[in-house]
Structure 1
Amino acid sequence: MATTIPLIDFKHYGLHVENTETVSDEDLKQLGEEFHEVFRTIGFCYIKNHGIPQELIDKMLKISKEFFDLPVEAKSKFERPLNSDHGWIPTIRDRKDADQPGAAEVIKESFNCVPPVDGAWPDSDLPQMKKIFYEFIEVCKKMAFRILDVLSVGLKLEGRDFLRQCHQDIGNKNQTTVRSVRYPPLPTDGSILPGQTRCGEHCDYGTVTMLFQDDIGGLEVCNTTGKYIQATPVPGAICVNIGELMQRWTADKLKATKHRVLIPEAEAGVRNNQGRQLMAFFIHPDDDCVIKCLDGSDKYQPMTALDYLKWRFSQTDIWLHV
């Protein structure tokens, strides 16, 4: 029974390793086995020595904060249209766990980018925002390929690039999304209820999620016994979990784990005035990739990645995730 989130060292396959062909089969096999065990059980891990520059992560957090700090009138010009995934999602109330005891609505706002994007950017107020987002997406894409390679090895697929090849169109015909999220500072009037969440219980939809978060904390993960455990932020590490599509793809051999974001008791005094900020990189297969059980069991009906995502979106509200 897991009581902590495992920490995996990516020193042998992080982005600092320029030529992946130099990585030994043994090192890659060990990483693959670690990944397989993590995603077969708890479904979450932290990755250190991943090679994504902290400077770039900090730039994303900073430019996102500057956007969220704009007046509502300014941000409303970039609100996400109904026919697009790009843009600002205004402050909304998380209702996912509204029927659970002690639950209450918590406000948050987000900015979504699904490249390539023809949508509007706040160029007059924040001329660097689009450039920073696209730089971040490009680096995350490279890291996503490394993670998918390790997953392929752990699953003993045809080759280390099997899953990578199913995600080649990231930035084109693919629904991979970067979402920057801000939860506002907590009220100090005593209106926060015991057990109140910042984000209700849910699983992600896609293949893999890479989560970049500040040090405020609050993320909790449901372990194999049904008990929620803290996923305390690890400085310099990124949080990685698999989504429901990967569970379906592996015929339930890997687990998409339920998670939520609580308001930690430690977030008292001055910390509750800081809010919480994060970026999530939701990795999805190419739109036309047919998701068929990898073990040949046909436990789930084959369907394209895009059709699967449309079906899942029709069942709930995607914008409430994270």
Structure 2
Amino acid sequence: MMITMTAPFSVPIIDISPYVLGGTSDERAAVARAMDEACRTVGFIQVVGHGIPAEAADGLASAIDSFFSQALAEKKAYVAPIGINRGYTAPKSEQLSLSLGVESANRMNDFFEAFNIGADPSYYPDYDGELPSGDYSENIWPANVPGFRECVNRWFDEAGALARIMTRIFADALSLPKDFFVGYTDHSLDVLRLNNYALPPGDITLDGELIGMGEHTDFGIVTLLWADRVRGLQVLGRDGSWNDVLPAPGAMLVNLGDLTNRWTNERWKSTLHRVKPPIVNGAIERRRSAAYFHDGNIDAVISALPGCVEPGDEPLYPPITVGQHIFGKLNGSRNLVSNAVGTEREAARVKAAGSE
């Protein structure tokens, strides 16, 4: 097991191979302790020893390049109906800060473009309940991008397996039964979002208010992020400063979502982050990423874990279902309707952070 921290602000690097390859109980306990410390203090982690082959990442990068290199009109053919979290999202269509109930004034919407796939009913053949078709929609696949579906599906499967390893580590770190999260994720509302940060020359006037993706917290249990080693991702430090984060070679960035923040009664934080890709010679330097959101079962009720609330205290958040929580978040970022579903504490963090 390895944990590495450097510099005043840093994202810890944790070797999780004892959980991937079958280490000793002492080795797994050391990983769990390191994970608890990282989740308490930073909320972002870089994991190595995760077991995802390099060729899977190479295939993902190739698929991202192939799809986003198309003309805008071709990509817009894959825009899904409102309320369906699949397919293509054009630049300047979203404002992530609204997912926290915060209006970002005096700047355009986030300029990234994206393509989403997610878990449909075929991913859970053993589940005998009814999955809402709008939330577990069939995926939209581009017809003219050879190999895209195969490469993206492979990454979806690899990332999904790693997400479940992460929740196994979380259970140990929180002194929960090792299968605690299984009952909350056996038909998890998981989504993979491919992101591209670039704009054609002359499309906008570059200025200090340009935001690739506005300040936000992720919505669900845990997010796994593959990203280029290009500056842009910024994470809010405990001192209120915004800090650039580059993934270490071969590492996966992992961060906690709001549901884990609620579950742990803020013992573990869903950390604010944003994307501001650098401007080089008057143009935005291209940056790619792929975020796998492990959000939990749509009908699961999330309430504070007993061990995370002091005797005599009340939980900081009321119980909420995964579906209610995710709907409020997406209604903010996608439909540009400020989220009012229990976001008071989250919105306060955004406002306290400021913009610099």
- Of residues 148, 153, 159, the one that matches 1:134 is 153
With structure 1 as the length reference, what TM-score do the two structures score? 0.85
- Of residues 251, 263, 280, the one that matches 2:265 is 251
The equivalent of 1:62 in structure 2 is: 62
Q: After superposition, what is the alpha-carbon deviation per residue over 1:90-146, rounded to whole angstroms, capped at 9, x for unaligned?
A: 2225545697698555522110111225243123x1242222222111111111111
Q: Contact 1:180–1:278 (CA<8 Å) still a contact in 2?
A: yes
Counterpart mapping for 1:1-322 below 5 A: 3-14=9-20, 17=21, 20=22, 23-92=23-92, 95=95, 105-116=109-120, 117-123=137-143, 125-157=144-176, 159-169=177-187, 174-185=188-199, 187=201, 191-194=205-208, 196-264=210-278, 268-269=280-281, 272=283, 274-295=285-306, 297=309, 299=315, 300-314=317-331, 316-318=332-334
Shift in Å at residue 53 of structure 1? 1.2
Q: Percent identity?
A: 25
- The alignment covers a number of residue pairs equal to 304
Counterpart-to-counterpart distance in 2, 1:263 and 1:101: 20
Shift in Å at residue 57 of structure 1? 1.3
Shift in Å at residue 222 of structure 1? 0.8
Deviates more, 1:77-86 or 1:33-42: 77-86
With structure 2 as the length reference, what TM-score do the two structures score? 0.77
Counterpart-to-counterpart distance in 1, 2:203 and 2:295: 41
Shift in Å at residue 310 of structure 1? 1.8
Counterpart-to-counterpart distance in 2, 1:235 and 1:102: 37
Shift in Å at residue 45 of structure 1? 1.2
Shift in Å at residue 150 of structure 1? 0.6
Aligned residue for 1:197, secondary structure, equals coil
Deviates more, 1:186-195 or 1:282-291: 186-195
Aligned residue for 2:160, secondary structure, equals helix
- Code of the residue aligned with 2:118 in structure 1: it is V
Deviates more, 1:60-69 or 1:105-114: 105-114
Deviates more, 1:294-303 or 1:140-149: 294-303
Counterpart-to-counterpart distance in 2, 1:268 and 1:188: 14
Deviates more, 1:221-230 or 1:303-312: 303-312
Counterpart-to-counterpart distance in 1, 2:204 and 2:87: 33
Q: After superposition, what is the alpha-carbon deviation per residue over 1:24-52, rounded to whole angstroms, capped at 9, x for unaligned?
A: 22111111111111111111111112111
Unaligned runs of 5+ in 2: 1-6, 121-136, 337-356
Counterpart-to-counterpart distance in 1, 2:265 and 2:244: 28
Q: Contact 1:111–1:179 (CA<8 Å) still a contact in 2?
A: yes
Deviates more, 1:303-312 or 1:43-52: 303-312
Aligned residue for 2:212, secondary structure, equals strand
Aligned residue for 1:13, secondary structure, equals helix
Unaligned runs of 5+ in 1: none
Q: Contact 1:86–1:111 (CA<8 Å) still a contact in 2?
A: yes
Counterpart-to-counterpart distance in 1, 2:117 and 2:190: 9
Distance 1:189 1:138, change over 3 A: closer
Shift in Å at residue 186 of structure 1? 7.0
Counterpart-to-counterpart distance in 1, 2:248 and 2:319: 38
Counterpart-to-counterpart distance in 2, 1:318 and 1:101: 17
Shift in Å at residue 312 of structure 1? 3.0
Aligned residue for 2:115, secondary structure, equals strand
Counterpart-to-counterpart distance in 2, 1:79 and 1:100: 25
**C-alpha RMSD of matched pairs (Å):** 2.7
Q: Contact 1:89–1:319 (CA<8 Å) still a contact in 2?
A: no
Aligned residue for 2:17, secondary structure, equals coil
- Code of the residue aligned with 1:73 in structure 2: it is A
Distance 1:208 1:86, change over 3 A: same
Aligned residue for 2:66, secondary structure, equals helix
